Structure formats: structure tokens, C-alpha cells
Amino acid sequence: MKWMETIKVQSASRKEQITEHELMALASDVRKNPDCQGLREVTVSSHATVPGCFALRLFWDTGDVRPGGSLLGMGLAQSLKALGLVDHSVWIENT
């Protein structure tokens, strides 16, 4: 089953560059981790009109969906709270 976690981060004022750098580094580390079975892709995006608003997305293909998110996603969401407001959600691909 294909599903996605979105971890949205709204950085604190004047912390946009630090937040972007941290998200890019985390995404790179996750991509290199061989223990993430079922993880197919990791992306980082910035909002088109809201400065300091970013999204880290984890794309999964596993036998089951974890409605609360993966251990990886929950850990990342928790650690990113130091950078600003965080929203973590899980989405299931409709086929």
C-alpha cells in the first residue's frame, strides 16, 4: 500500500534559512539510511507564498499503513518542533 507522511514546519521568524538547511540535511540522512524498509522517496518543499513554511514528505510503499505515522516520521516531527510549529499527517494514495 502506498502512503505518505507530510511534516509541515512553520519556522520561527528569521529562522527560515536554518530551518531549510536542517530539513535538507535530515532528508539527506534519511535517504542514506538502509533501515527504512518501504521508504521510497523523501522530499523537501517550501511554500510558494509563505516565507519559512516547509514540508518534509516521506513516501512509503508497505503492507500496511500506520495511521499515526511511522516511527521515523514521528521522531522527525518531534525533533523539528525546536524549529517552529509542526504538523504531522498521514495520507493514503487512492488507486
Model confidence pLDDT, tens digit, residues 4-34: 999 999 998 889 999 999 999 999 999 998 7
Model confidence pLDDT, tens digit, residues 28-68: 999 998 788 899 999 999 999 999 999 999 999 998 998 99
pTM higher than 0.85, yes or no?
A: yes
3-class secondary structure for the chain?
CEEEEEEEEEECCCCHHHHHHHHHHHHHHHHHCCCCCCEEEEEEEECCCCCCEEEEEEEEECCCCCCCCCHHHHHHHHHHHHHEEEEEEEEECCC
Asked if pLDDT for residue 3 goes beyond 80, the answer is yes
CATH number 3.30.70.100 is the correct assignment for the domain at 2-92 = yes
**Residues in contact with 81: Cβ distance below 8 Å, sequence separation at least 6, in sequence order:** none
